[in-house]
Amino acid sequence: MTDHLEPTLEADPLLTSLPVENNTNRAWALVKEKYVFGRHLACDVNINGATTDKAPVNDLNIEKAERCFRREADILRTIDHPCIIQFYDFFETKSAYYIFLELALDGSLFDHIINQGKLSERESLFFFYQMLTAVDHLHRLGITHRDLKPENILLEKTSSGDFLYKITDFGLAKIVGETSYMKTLCGTPGYVAPEVIFRGARSEQYTNVVDCWSLGVILYICLVGYPPFCEDPQIREEQVLTGHLYYNEEDWEGLSPKVFDLIQKLLRVDPKSRFTITQALNHEWMLVVLSINIYFIYVLKIYYFFTYRC
């Protein structure tokens, strides 16, 4: 885990000395007037209503750092969805790259589950509908996230008391066409689809349904408070490759059999038979989502209507 330094009110000298020579630097000067920068050693540091990702750069990693940060900024620029963290701007200095993002003050889904133990089926349904619409938006744009997990989902409390969930961290995201494949071995153990693990051993290709697998794992964790696979890396890998989910009947008592059916279909080992985002949205369990929060769901539906049909 990366160490953090507490933000201070002292502006970063690198930024205050930045010359105003072109349009980018003029915009940067305006940003400096609006925000006060504190020194930090890690990502996601709050600065007066926005967050920045900052990575140290040296001669050895400068090309890779520049490529990764520019790719993430390019991806974020194309996205506009209420359940995905909003991108504001991207700037660089001689020693760092800055990505300005929307500030979410209510923690992550990971923290929320730790505090609550697990989520109710009602809250899980409301949460999962938001995630499906967000990932559907990404996939329609040809973007695969590849690192969906509770730590990468931020919370924002609404006036109704419910949470708006926002996907963040697009450092591993990839833009590909609908018929294109990916080959890079990446992701977080415990959330990685079997075809990505196969890729490490047999150079298998994979598609955006790796995100569907990750969502299935996340939904499982939301409902019972623990992952569907063993924490031991070797046992976990075998369980993932064979599709063996841990099932304790007592933990699932009182929950709809339909939700476990959806999870099983999202966690199919064969990516060709795994549920897509569209299939998940039309699953029986999801059809009762309007009873959760009619107003908010209609806001999302209206957003989709104008985005994709007008």
Active-site amino acid positions: 147
Taking CB atoms within 8 Å and a gap of at least 24, the contacts of 40-48 are 40/4, 40/5, 40/7, 41/2, 41/3, 41/4, 41/5, 42/2, 42/3, 42/4, 43/2, 45/4, 45/7, 46/7, 46/103, 47/7
- CA terminus-to-terminus distance, the chain: 45
CA dist., res. 24 & res. 89, Å (int): 10
For 8, the token pair is: 């201070």
Could you tell me the CA-to-CA distances from 120 to 123, 167, 258, 277, 283 in Å, in that order? 5, 20, 15, 22, 19
108: left (phi over 0), alpha (psi -120 to 50) or beta: beta
